[in-house]
């Protein structure tokens, strides 16, 4: 579809959406032109996929993969010793048949559950349900009347109970009372299928519980069995009538009530969130202010830490020792300079003695401090500090 529909007005009333106008021209050959479209607000078509859905089930989209998984789950629920041969494709179920163990191999094609599953019994049995050549179970009521709403687990359970309660003869065994070969499997299948279509299902020893498991006794939550052919045809042709019929279903009404409760809860939660919006904004602003203050304090700490490191280096014992050594050398050089000037006749005796004595005195004091500091550092090193 190459046309573009720009919906200009959409109104939602009573769980329905009415599109009242469109920019698509009236004389356009567009087959999907939208002038007034009415559809259910809730996803109606997908509820038809779950014939066995409970009233408390929530409306949801049922995908093909989900339907396939549900069928496999019913197989594990209604039968014991289910072995998975190949995930989602092949399963094996064992049953007791007259003291001997038989196995039913369930093969699920790519089209399952839209297509029938294939059930193959091993070893092959002489039974109207079983093809005597291939061992495939072709004429069981659950297989003949299979629909997408049938339960795979119940079908296999009914077949297993039939073989357990009325063990058939194995094909590779022979008894005196069976001299004539059995009728062809295809003939038996056609005869049995014709009887099923006429409503006269032959009794193969299946008890009443197995009869209840047949498709005719499966749950009918939609009430379709009570409708006439005309009503079913109208449901198939008239979309509005189909919507009204679906809207009156009890389990759908229950789901609508649950949906309304959920929507009310969501609305209440949204209102509560809006009421807390101002508080959240205030706390957010406060947090941003604290973060900015933290950043400034961090920068101050970094600056003061660098200053501390410089001061720590300046006042370290090793640095003080180096400074004392420089000061001692300076005082010693100064006294030597005073002696050289006196010898050169650049100063008199009084000036020389005064300056020389002061410089030597300063030299002696600094030298003593240096030696004392060296002794202290040596003692600390010996004490392993």
CATH of the domain at 154: 3.10.110.10
Q: Kindly state whether residues 332 and 203 are assigned to the same domain.
A: no
Work out the widest C-alpha separation in the chain, in whole angstroms. 159
Pair (196, 82) in one structural domain? yes
- Among 219, 237, 272, the domain-final residue is 219
74 and 210 in a single domain? The answer is yes
Whether residue 208 sits in one domain with residue 69: yes
Which residues are within 8 A (CB) of 58 and not within 5 positions of it... i.e. 6 or more apart?
255, 258, 259
Q: Is residue 248 part of a domain?
A: no
pTM assigned to the model:
0.32
The CA distance from 28 to 25, in Å, is 5
Among the listed residues 50, 1, 13, 11, the one whose alpha carbon sits nearest the alpha carbon of residue 249 = 50
Q: Which residue among 175, 191, 219 closes a domain?
A: 219
> What's the confidence (pLDDT) of residue 264?
93
Q: Which two tokens stand for residue 354?
A: 């005064």
Judge whether 296 lies within some domain.
Answer: no
**Which among 199, 219, 239 is the end of a domain?**
219
Q: Is residue 301 part of a domain?
A: no
Q: Is residue 11 part of a domain?
A: no
CA distance 26 to 366: 111
In the block, residue with structure tokens 């769980």: 15
* 102 and 215 fall within a common domain: yes
Does residue 164 lie in a domain region? Answer: yes
- Specify the number of domains making up the chain: 2
List of the chain residues with pLDDT < 50: 1-61, 174-217
End-to-end CA distance of the chain: 88
Could you tell me if 329 and 196 lie in one domain?
A: no
Q: Partners of 19 in the beta sheet?
A: 10, 37
Residue 176 is predicted with a pLDDT of 39
User: What is the pLDDT, as a whole number, of residue 245?
Assistant: 85
Distance CA 102, CA 129 (A): 15
Looking at residue 171, its pLDDT comes to 74
| pLDDT for residue 177 | 40
| Residue 50, in any domain of the structure | no
Can you tell me the distance from the alpha carbon of 141 to that of 213, in angstroms, rounded to the nearest whole number? Answer: 9
Same domain flag for 187 and 320 = no
**Residue 102: strand pairing partners:** 95
Q: Is 196 domain-assigned?
A: yes
User: Is residue 262 within 8 Å of residue 269, measured between CB atoms?
Assistant: no
Locus of tokens 């010996």: 382
Q: Are 332 and 202 found together in one domain? A: no
Residue of 117, 144, 119, 156 lying closest to 199 (CA atoms): 144
| Residue 379: half-sphere exposure toward Cβ, Cα within 13 Å | 6
Asked if residue 37 is part of any domain, the answer here is no
Residue 69 and residue 213 in one domain: yes
Give, in degrees to the nearest 5, the angle at Cα 250 between 247 and 255: 75
Range of the domain at 186: 64-219
């Amino acid at each position: 579809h190459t046309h573009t529909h720009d919906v200009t007005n959409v109104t939602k009333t009573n769980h329905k959406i009415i599109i009242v106008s469109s920019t698509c021209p009236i004389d356009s050959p567009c087959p999907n032109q939208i002038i007034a479209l009415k559809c259910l607000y809730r996803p109606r078509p997908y509820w038809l996929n779950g014939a066995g859905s409970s009233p408390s089930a929530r409306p949801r989209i049922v995908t093909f993969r989900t339907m396939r998984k549900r069928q496999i789950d019913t197989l594990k629920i209604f039968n014991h010793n289910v072995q998975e041969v190949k995930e989602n494709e092949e399963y094996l179920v064992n049953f007791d048949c007259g003291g001997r163990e038989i196995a039913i191999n369930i093969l699920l094609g790519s089209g399952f559950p839209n297509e029938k599953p294939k059930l193959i019994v091993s070893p092959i049995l002489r039974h109207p349900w079983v093809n005597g050549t291939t061992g495939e179970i072709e004429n069981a009521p659950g297989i003949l009347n299979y629909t997408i709403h049938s339960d795979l687990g119940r079908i296999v359970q009914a077949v297993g109970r039939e073989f357990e309660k009325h063990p058939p003869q194995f094909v590779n065994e022979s008894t005196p009372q069976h001299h004539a070969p059995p009728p062809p499997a295809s003939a038996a299948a056609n005869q049995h299928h014709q009887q099923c279509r006429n409503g006269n299902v032959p009794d193969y020893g299946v008890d009443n519980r197995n009869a209840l498991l047949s498709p005719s006794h499966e749950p009918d939550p939609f009430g379709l069995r009570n409708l006439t052919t005309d009503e079913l045809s109208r449901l198939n042709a008239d979309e509005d009538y189909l919507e009204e019929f679906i809207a009156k279903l009890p389990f759908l009404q229950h789901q609508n009530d649950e949906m309304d409760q959920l929507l009310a809860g969501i609305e209440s939660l949204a209102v509560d969130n809006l009421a807390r919006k101002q508080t959240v904004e205030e706390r957010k602003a406060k947090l941003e202010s604290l973060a900015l203050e933290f950043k400034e304090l961090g920068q101050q700490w970094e600056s003061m830490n660098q200053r501390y490191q410089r001061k720590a280096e300046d006042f370290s014992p090793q640095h003080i020792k180096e400074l004392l050594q420089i000061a001692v050398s300076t005082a010693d050089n100064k006294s030597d300079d005073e002696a050289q000037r006196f010898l050169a006749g650049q100063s008199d005796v009084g000036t020389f003695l005064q300056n020389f004595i002061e410089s030597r005195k300063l030299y002696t004091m600094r030298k003593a401090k240096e030696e004392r500091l060296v002794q202290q550092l040596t003692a600390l090193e010996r004490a392993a500090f």
